[in-house]
């Protein structure tokens, strides 16, 4: 017994659910997509240290190693340095700047103690 077009639609839906649904004819090339993401970050000057860390974490979820991501960043940087756009070259050069020096924990503690002593002396003299 046939129910017409509705039955055909149900049969097609059942066959579609039984196998994997492919949106694209070929699988996405993870390396190419990820390299494009990195290239855009480098070209626009948005590749900060925190973004780089997040990109490496995201890459690990996709099965890419930190070494592979580092190589992609280096390749994109070299491509940007070869660019005719001076702004793009400047952004690429920023990637080679050393990290800003940070104050060590003992120095921070010493500064806090010194400030506390100065404030204490000022308050004591003011009250007396």
pLDDT band at 18 (very low <50, low <70, confident <90, very high): very low
pLDDT band at 22 (very low <50, low <70, confident <90, very high): very low
Distance from C-alpha of 125 to C-alpha of 24, rounded to nearest angstrom: 77
Distance from C-alpha of 8 to C-alpha of 12, rounded to nearest angstrom: 6
- CA nearest neighbour of 38 among 5, 2, 73, 81: 73
To the question of pTM greater than 0.85 for the whole model, the response is no
Q: What is the pLDDT of residues 25-39, one digit of tens each?
A: 555 677 788 888 888
Torsion angle defined by CA atoms of residues 47, 53, 59 and 64, in that order, rounded to the nearest 10 degrees: 100
**Is the pLDDT score of 70 beyond 60?**
yes
Q: Is 66 exposed, middle or buried (0-12, 13-18, 19+ CB in 10 A)?
A: middle
Distance from C-alpha of 24 to C-alpha of 117, rounded to nearest angstrom: 68
**Is the pLDDT score of 100 beyond 80?**
no
């Amino acid at each position: 017994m046939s129910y017409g077009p509705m039955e055909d639609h149900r049969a097609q839906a059942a066959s579609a659910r039984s196998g994997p649904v492919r949106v694209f004819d070929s699988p996405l090339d993870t390396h190419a997509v990820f390299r494009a993401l990195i290239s855009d970050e480098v070209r626009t000057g948005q590749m900060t240290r925190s973004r780089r860390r997040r990109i490496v974490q995201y890459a690990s979820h996709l099965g890419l190693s930190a070494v592979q991501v580092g190589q992609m960043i280096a390749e994109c940087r070299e491509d940007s340095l070869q660019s005719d756009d001076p702004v793009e070259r400047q952004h690429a050069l920023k990637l080679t700047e050393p990290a800003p020096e940070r104050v060590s924990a003992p120095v921070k503690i010493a500064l806090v103690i010194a400030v506390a002593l100065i404030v204490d002396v000022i308050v004591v003299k003011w009250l007396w």
